[in-house]
C-alpha cells in the first residue's frame, strides 16, 4: 500500500485580523478621546430602548456641552483645545457613579457609557435603572463639579471663568 500525500497551505492572517480590529475600533470610537462615538452611542441607545421595553426599567441620557469652548480653542489653539477635550472626557467618566463602565460596542449587554458626539459635546447613557429620579440631580452635579477644576489649563483667570460653565441636561 502506497503512502498518501497531503498538501496544504498555511497562511498567517494575524496582520489582517489586527487590521480588522483596528478598523472596527475606529468606526465606533472617537480618535481624540478614545470614547465611544456617535455611531456607538446610537447603537447602545437602541439597545437601551429595547431593554427598557422588555424589562420595564428606565434609562437616562444626559447631554453635556462645554460652553464657550470655541472661544478657548480660538484663544489658545487647537492643541490646547484637544488637551481640554481629553481632560474633560476623563473627568466626565470619573464624575459618574462608581459602577459605571465605558461601554464597548461588541458587548451584547448594555452598559453605562460616556460618548463623544463631536466637537465639545458628550453624552452619558445610563441603561437599566430602576429609579431615574436618583440620577436626575446627581449625574449633572457630579459632571459639573468634575469639569469646574480646570484653572491649570489657563494662564489668565478670565479664560477659565469663561469655560467653567457646563450645560448638562
**Per-residue DSSP letter, 3:** P
In b/e form, how buried is each residue of 50-80, taking b as 16+ CB within 10 angstroms? ebbeeeeebbbebebebeebeebbeebeeee
Q: 43 catalytic, yes or no?
A: no
Would you state the pLDDT for residue 108?
A: 43
Residues composing the chain: 169
User: Which pLDDT tens digit goes with each residue over 34-74?
Assistant: 999 999 999 999 998 998 888 888 888 888 888 788 888 88
d(CA 124, CA 102): 10
What pLDDT is stored for residue 111 in this prediction? 77
Options 3.30.70.270, 3.40.1280.10, 3.30.450.20, 3.40.50.620; CATH for 34-168 is: 3.30.70.270
**124 phi/psi in degrees, rounded to 5:** -120, 130
Cell digits of residue 134: 436618583
SS3 80: helix
Q: Look at residue 106 in the predicted model and tell me its pLDDT.
A: 36
Other CB atoms within 10 Å distance of the CB of residue 33: 21
Please pick, among 30, 100, 112, 120, the residue that the annotation labels catalytic: 120
Ranges of residues in the chain with a pLDDT under 70 are 1-3, 96-110, 145-169
pTM of structure: 0.73
> Do residues 65 and 57 touch, judged by C-beta distance below 8 A?
no
Please tell me the predicted confidence (pLDDT) of residue 168.
53
DSSP count for the chain of H helices, then E strands: 6, 4
Amino acid at each position: 500500500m502506497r503512502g498518501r500525500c497531503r498538501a496544504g497551505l498555511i497562511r498567517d492572517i494575524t496582520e489582517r485580523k489586527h487590521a480588522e480590529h483596528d478598523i472596527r475600533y475606529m468606526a465606533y470610537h472617537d480618535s481624540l478621546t478614545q470614547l465611544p462615538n456617535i455611531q456607538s452611542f446610537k447603537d447602545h441607545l437602541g439597545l437601551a430602548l429595547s431593554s427598557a421595553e422588555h424589562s420595564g426599567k428606565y434609562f437616562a441620557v444626559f447631554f453635556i456641552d462645554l460652553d464657550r469652548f470655541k472661544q478657548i480653542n480660538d484663544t489658545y489653539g487647537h492643541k490646547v483645545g484637544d488637551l481640554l477635550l481629553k481632560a474633560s472626557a476623563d473627568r466626565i467618566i470619573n464624575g459618574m457613579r462608581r459602577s459605571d463602565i465605558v461601554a464597548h460596542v461588541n458587548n451584547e449587554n448594555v452598559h453605562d457609557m460616556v460618548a463623544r458626539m463631536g466637537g465639545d459635546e458628550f453624552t452619558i447613557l445610563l441603561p437599566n435603572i430602576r429609579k431615574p429620579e436618583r440620577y436626575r440631580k446627581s449625574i449633572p452635579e457630579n459632571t459639573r463639579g468634575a469639569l469646574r477644576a480646570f484653572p491649570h489649563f489657563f494662564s489668565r483667570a478670565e479664560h477659565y471663568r469663561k469655560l467653567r460653565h457646563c450645560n448638562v441636561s
